Amino acid sequence: MTEFVMTPLPLWAEILTGLLAIVGAAFAAIGSFGLVRLPTFYRRIHAPTLGATLGVWCMTAATIVYFSAQGFSLFLHTGLIAVFVALTAPVTTIFLMRAALFRERQKGGEVPSPDRPPLNDRPDT
């Protein structure tokens, strides 16, 4: 069994890892703020999906840089996490949007159309 010895990271790896982690956290925070601040469900659903996906990609890149510099070999195992999130987040969003449209149609409410803006964005006539 091989033993993993902690060695100090090179400065470039520390800086790159830190920047990628900060950018990933910023994307996740922006997605969370978008979830809270956007006015309608149909707009609100996009922010956390994009924020989570971009945040996970940045965090995965930070992990790859850190462990590749630490172990002196390319560490791509964490890339699977980003691939799974990139595949599942949009699919989940599509299912949530379809469920919301179905419920809106069941209630007899107005369903947003791609040809016209949502109700709360139209000027009063």
In a domain, 123, yes or no: no
Would you list the DSSP string of 58-120?
A: HHHHHHHHHHHHHHTS---TTHHHHHHHHHHHHHHHHHHHHHHHHHHHHHTPPPP-TTS--GG
In a domain, 22, yes or no: yes
In a domain, 115, yes or no: no
Residue 4: per-residue pLDDT: 63
In a domain, 1, yes or no: no
In a domain, 6, yes or no: no
When divided into structural domains, the chain yields a total of 1
In a domain, 114, yes or no: no
- What pTM was computed for the model? 0.71
In a domain, 7, yes or no: no
Residue 120: per-residue pLDDT: 55
Residue 75: per-residue pLDDT: 81
DSSP secondary structure code for residue 43 in this structure: H
In a domain, 55, yes or no: yes
Residue span of the structural domain in which 16 resides: 12-107
Residue 64: per-residue pLDDT: 92
Instruction: Please check whether residue 48 is in contact with residue 35, taking contact to mean a CB–CB distance below 8 angstroms.
Output: yes
Per-residue pLDDT of the chain (125 residues; tens, 9 = 90+): 566 666 788 899 999 999 999 999 999 999 888 888 888 887 888 888 888 888 989 999 999 999 888 887 788 888 888 888 888 888 888 898 889 888 888 888 776 666 655 555 545 54
Q: Which is nearest to 16 in space by CA: 55, 72, 77, 66?
A: 66
